[in-house]
Amino acid sequence: MNTFPKTKAAPRDLSRRSAESEWLDGADASAQELALVLRDLARFNRVMLGHWPVIDWLRRATKDAGRERALTLVDVGCGYGDLLRAIRRWARKRGLTIRLIGLDLNRETVRIAQAVTDDADEIDYCVVDVFDFAPPAPIDLVVSSLVTHHMSDDLIVKFLRWMEGTARKGWLIYDLQRHPVPYYFIGVMGKLTRLHPMVIHDGRISVARSLTRTEWLMRIDEADIARNAVRLRWFLFRFAIGRLR
C-alpha cells in the first residue's frame, strides 16, 4: 500500500525542465520503506546498465594510473551505494587501489547504504552537503550518478565549478535525458518488474526535471569550462558528461 501523499501527475510537456518535487525528496518515509525504494532504484538502474558508462569512463581515467599510489574517488549523492560497490568490484579485478567516499544529504539513506555494504569493501560514507565537504585528502576523481536532475540550473553550474576545482584527474556526471521515450518507458518497465510505486512516480518526474544536450552545453558554458575539454556522450536516453585531465 502506498503511504505517500497524492500529487498531480508529472507533467507531460517536456519542452522545458519541470520544477515538480519528487516524493522521495519530500515524503516522510519509514526507514523500512525507504530501504525498499532505494533497493528498487538500484535494481532498475542495474537492469538499465546504469553503472556501465561510469565504469567505462573510469577505465579511461585510470589507464595510466600507477599501482603504487592510491587514488581517491568521491561519489556525490551516493544513495544506496550500489555504484560505489560496483566500482570496488571493478577496481579489485583490475588490481587498482582506490579510496572510495560516498556523500549524501540524507542520514537515513547513508545508514541504509552502510548496512548493505560489506566492511571489506572499505567505503567511507558521509552525511554532508557537497559544498561543505572537507576532503580528508586530495580528490582525484569525482562521479555523480542520477543526481543533477534534483538541482536547479544555478546549482548545476555551481556543482560543475566545484568538480572542476576539486577533481585533479577528472569528473563525470551521469544523468537522464529529458525525452518522451524514458518518460513513458519507466511506467511500462516499472509495472513489468514490479518496482515500488514511488520509483515509477519519481522516475517520470526525474525525466521531466532532467536536461537536454543543449541545456547541458549551456550549463558548461556558464560554469566557464571550455566545451572542448568536456566529452558529452549519449547512452540509452542518458548522458555521461565527463572531463579528463
Query: Taking the domains of the chain in order of start, what are their residue ranges?
Result: 36-175+211-244
Tell me, what's the pLDDT at 57?
97
Tell me, what's the pLDDT at 193?
76
Label residue 68 by pLDDT band (50, 70, 90).
low
How do residues 123-137 score in pLDDT, each as one tens digit? 999 999 999 999 988
Q: Does domain 36-175+211-244 bear CATH number 3.40.50.150?
A: yes
The rounded percent of the chain whose pLDDT value lies above 90 is 75
Tell me, what's the pLDDT at 91?
95
pTM of the model: 0.91
Residue 80 CA to residue 112 CA, distance in Å, equals 7
Q: Which element (helix H / strand E) includes 88?
A: helix 82-94
Q: Which three cell numbers stand for residue 75?
A: 561519489
Specify which residues 99 forms β-bridges with: 72
The rounded percent of the chain whose pLDDT value lies above 70 is 93
Tell me, what's the pLDDT at 232?
97
Centroid of chain to Cα 39: 15
